[in-house]
Amino acid sequence: MTRRGRLKRLAAGAAALLTAGWVFGAAPGQAGAAPAAALYTDPAQPLDARVDDLLSRMSLDEKIGQMTQAERGALDSPSDITTYRLGSVLSGGGSTPASNTPQAWADMYDSFQRAALATPLGIPMIYGIDAVHGHNNVRGATIFPHNIGLGAANDPELVQRIGRATAEEVAGTGIDWNFAPCLCVARNDRWGRTYESFGEVPELPTAMTTLITGLQGETLGGPASVLATAKHYLGDGGTTGGVDQGDTRLSEAELRAVHLPPFREAVERGVGSVMISYSSWNGEKLHGHRYLITDLLKGELGFDGFVVSDWAAVDQLDGAPGFTGAEVAAAVNAGIDMVMVPYEYQQFISTLRAEVQAGRVPMARIDDANRRILAKKFELGLFEQPLTDRSYTSTIGSAAHRAIGREAVRKSQVLLKNAGGVLPLDRSARVFVAGKSADDIGNQSGGWTISWQGESGPVTEGTTILEGLREVAGDASRITYHREGHGMDSSYDVAVAVIGETPYAEGHGDRRGSMGLDQEDLNTLSRLRASGVPLVVVLVSGRPLDIAGQLGDWDALLAAWLPGTEGGGVADVLYGDHAPTGTLPVTWMRSASQQPINDGDGKDALFPLGHGLTYSGTDPDPDPDPEPDPDPDPDPDPEPDPDPAAECTADFRVINAWSGGFQAEVTVRNTGSAAISGWQVRWTNPSGVSINSLWNGSHTVSGSAVTVTNAGWNGQLAPSASASFGFTASGSASVPQTTCTTG
């Protein structure tokens, strides 16, 4: 839809609201009141003109209020929104209305929005929530696989459909701002947020920024358009030791190469907001990092949305409890536009006011923050359609959305071992199912499900893996279940153990020591193995676990990740209705002592990045440590000629330049009709240019001629797919002619 068409639609919505008795602006004569015909209330006016007009009418307190976000549970009453001119309210994990139903959410949202509209200028609030794998705070919503599973599926189009379904469910409760997607690149599986990452290499989260388009639509303000948030900027997946909120100790070149690409792509997709990370970069807290926020994100990348802090994160800048004027000034001057102060919003408002009045925070910075926030509110159509669009309320947990969820589950399954072809299961087989996660919707959904940390048990509505097995088997009498594995004997044809992690989220999920199975899982496996029948292990977890010591006793291993509410998708793969197509988005450790382990670091992995088997065209007895062929063919067939339908291009871009050097990025794209199994890019360096370091590939130099070859994990490209590599160099920046070849 064009902007003109959208404005016409918004104008019609405004007229309808006025007919219903809504009036924007205060009564004549009230301080700061806008006349009924104020320019900013006219959706036919240009966006910038509306922002300018509204900004010119706002007092300092109204501007500071727009920069303040409070937790719904901390409000003394909705009238606090009116009194303090709050620009935003949020629900933290597990912060729900007393009755956790879609209708109650919509009613709560509307009550808060009416309080915002009661302010003199009638500026609507924007409500934020962590809908990170579906509308996961709402009981009955569709819970999709966590991001690590979607990275395994590696299907950007599917992820965009998930974003659209999530947006519809979020919009059905009135909420208009989602703190997703997480674009972190998880480099250490000890990190408790590993499952929030699409993968360990930047290409995966970069590709999955399609979620942003799904959430927002092609442009903001369309049907069920929900503002997306790229988080957590920058480098939170690369902290030393995988410590949550820790320190990412990298050179700027490494930070840019590994952690920046997904955010660059998010900005190019028009993401509306960016959330700053709790973590530090080389000892400096990100929430006070002007270079990364203002110079890099807003300047170099051209981000024109608004930047929001994380939960009470400004209070962490000086390392002492209780935020100070210095912390507030540092964060706002660094470029943070909206500050998430869940509980101390009144103190924050008075503190920021004092810093502005003392001249330590310039009014220009306050006005810039307000311009960014107000622009997104106008673009979303909140001034014209401030209340819940209840036509979407019925989509929450709908059959159509659950079908997308089930598709996502089966595409995310990664078959890691299948000795003797024990999978897929035969429908005539007698199957014994055991394990703590076989019949537990909470375990299979993981953290950020109904509550912040999540919990085991029937926390919401959905299909457990056991229920899915009974459904797909056709004859449920062929399925026997006991959680601990008691009653298993040799009369069964196969045993299926559904084991792994129990729910956790940030902080609580960090694993400093062992990363293996718990004692309950080990006991269950021992009982099943004692029967002598083939053993299939379904691992429900938010990351790779240390299972090398047990793997030899298992006939098959399926990584199910955290599939969410649609456990039938796991059963679809186990019974072969859909062959497994997922591949590892992370390197699977041989032992916890290897952490961090990532592709290309030379460590001996149990399973490499990109590993994944299927039921046809693969080794029937895959082994993560295959023995060398004892009788290799002395005259192997020569390598086939490259597919004539395989073609590629290489787009060379200078990303940054400085006196005596520069940084470049090259995007390789498959422009042919066949898949590419490898690529090379060549160019000639001008005189005086030499490469210092190169990532996401390997290179050779002969004189001035440069050849870059793909890394092990980014050489496979489907038609239209792309990969990228980058480098830093000495000398003057230039853009040479490149050639790309396949094979």
CA 277/CA 231 separation, integer angstroms:
7
Please confirm, yes or no, whether 310 is among the known catalytic residues. yes
Q: How far is CA 577 from CA 53, 407, 409, 420, 485, in A?
A: 59, 12, 13, 19, 26
- Cα angle at 94 between 90 and 98, to 5 degrees? 90
677: closest CA among 731, 721, 612?
721
pTM of the full structure: 0.84
Q: Specify burial of residue 389 (Cβ count, 10 A radius: 0-12, 13-18, 19+).
A: middle
CA 241/CA 511 separation, integer angstroms:
10
Number of helices followed by number of strands (H, E) in the chain: 21, 25
* pLDDT at 148 exceeding the cut of 80: yes
What are the start-end ranges of the E strands in 411-550?
A: 414-418, 431-434, 479-481, 494-500, 535-540
Higher pLDDT, 36 or 281: 281
- Averaged over 489-515, what is the pLDDT? 98
Of all residues in the chain, the percent with pLDDT exceeding 90 is 82
Higher pLDDT, 326 or 646: 326
Instruction: Specify whether the CB–CB gap between 86 and 63 falls below 8 A.
Output: no
pLDDT in tens, 39-65: 999 999 999 999 999 999 999 999 999
Q: In the structure, what pLDDT confidence band is assigned to residue 35 with cuts at 50, 70 and 90?
A: low
Instruction: Specify whether the CB–CB gap between 166 and 144 falls below 8 A.
Output: yes
pLDDT in tens, 532-570: 999 999 999 999 999 999 999 999 999 999 999 999 999
CA 195/CA 509 separation, integer angstroms:
10
Q: What local confidence, expressed as pLDDT, does residue 624 receive?
A: 39
What are the start-end ranges of the E strands in 542-613?
A: 556-561
- Averaged over 165-171, what is the pLDDT? 98
Q: What local confidence, expressed as pLDDT, does residue 636 receive?
A: 37
- Averaged over 437-457, what is the pLDDT? 98
- Write out the H or E segment, with its range, that includes residue 246: none
- Averaged over 140-169, what is the pLDDT? 98
CA 313/CA 83 separation, integer angstroms:
24
Neighbouring C-beta atoms of residue 623, cutoff 10 Å = 11
pLDDT in tens, 525-536: 999 999 999 999
Dihedral of the CA atoms 298, 301, 305, 307 (nearest 10)?
-50
Task: Report strand pairing: 697-702 vs 705-710.
Answer: antiparallel
Three-state secondary-structure class, residue 676: strand
pLDDT in tens, 460-494: 999 999 999 999 999 999 999 999 999 999 999 99
Mean of all residue pLDDT scores within the chain = 91
3-state helix, strand, coil in the chain (%, to 5): 35, 20, 50
Q: Specify burial of residue 532 (Cβ count, 10 A radius: 0-12, 13-18, 19+).
A: exposed
Tokens of 527: 């009982």
pLDDT in tens, 628-676: 333 333 333 444 444 557 799 999 988 777 677 787 889 898 998 888 8
* pLDDT at 622 exceeding the cut of 60: no
Three-state secondary-structure class, residue 699: strand
Q: What local confidence, expressed as pLDDT, does residue 173 receive?
A: 98
Q: What local confidence, expressed as pLDDT, does residue 268 receive?
A: 97
pLDDT in tens, 2-33: 333 333 333 333 333 333 333 333 332 233 34
- Averaged over 294-301, what is the pLDDT? 98
Tokens of 329: 């000034």
pLDDT in tens, 708-720: 998 766 788 878 7
Neighbouring C-beta atoms of residue 399, cutoff 10 Å = 8
139: closest CA among 588, 445, 531?
445
Neighbouring C-beta atoms of residue 628, cutoff 10 Å = 5
Our measurement of the distance from residue 640's CA atom to the centroid of its chain's CA atoms, rounded to an integer in Å, reads 40
Q: What local confidence, expressed as pLDDT, does residue 25 receive?
A: 34
> Which of 310, 439, 521, 572 is flagged as catalytic?
310
Residue with tokens 């087989």: 429
Q: What local confidence, expressed as pLDDT, does residue 388 receive?
A: 98
- Cα angle at 58 between 326 and 46, to 5 degrees? 115
Q: In the structure, what pLDDT confidence band is assigned to residue 389 with cuts at 50, 70 and 90?
A: very high
Q: In the structure, what pLDDT confidence band is assigned to residue 627 with cuts at 50, 70 and 90?
A: very low
Q: Which residues contact 708 (CB under 8 A, 6 or more apart)?
A: 666, 680, 681, 682, 694, 697, 698, 699, 725
Q: In the structure, what pLDDT confidence band is assigned to residue 342 with cuts at 50, 70 and 90?
A: very high
- Which residues, listed in sequence order, are joined to residue 182 by a DSSP beta bridge? 231
* pLDDT at 740 exceeding the cut of 80: yes
Instruction: Specify whether the CB–CB gap between 708 and 699 falls below 8 A.
Output: yes
* pLDDT at 288 exceeding the cut of 50: yes
What are the start-end ranges of the E strands in 646-689?
A: 648-658, 661-670, 679-684
Q: What local confidence, expressed as pLDDT, does residue 643 receive?
A: 55
Q: In the structure, what pLDDT confidence band is assigned to residue 72 with cuts at 50, 70 and 90?
A: very high
Three-state secondary-structure class, residue 497: strand
Q: What local confidence, expressed as pLDDT, does residue 711 receive?
A: 77
CA 407/CA 387 separation, integer angstroms:
32
